[in-house]
Amino acid sequence: MVFTGLDWKISNETVVRPDVMIVCGKIETDYLEFPPALIVEILSSTSLVKNRNIKFELYRENGVKYYIMADYTKETVEVFELIDN
């Protein structure tokens, strides 16, 4: 399923809300409790550093298979695939 506006609770201290997520599996609560299969983040001047550094590492460390960063001002899309963790 495709979600926008859904929180992913990674831990009690870490909750993120990606721009778009594709989730394979059943969601039992009001938020996601396991890694989504794919995350899309739309880059902006205010989110660029966070999405490229902090979220990139956070998603990698927590097993997100595909991470897409779309930059509408540059009209580019970057696709990252997690291989063998």
Domains, the chain, ordered by start: 2-81 (3.90.1570.10)
**DSSP-assigned beta bridge partners for residue 72:** none
**Is this prediction's pTM over 0.85?**
yes
Whole-number pLDDT of residue 70: 97
> Helix, strand or coil for residue 71?
strand
Q: How confident is the model at residue 85 (pLDDT cuts 50, 70, 90)?
A: low
pLDDT tens digits along 55-83: 999 999 999 999 999 999 999 999 999 99
Question: Does residue 42 contact residue 19 with C-beta atoms inside 8 Å?
Answer: yes
Whole-number pLDDT of residue 84: 82
pLDDT tens digits along 7-27: 999 999 999 999 999 999 999
- Locate 48 and state its tokens: 């660029």
DSSP state letters, 19-59: SEEE--S---SSSB-S--SEEEEEE-TTTHHIIIIIIHHHH
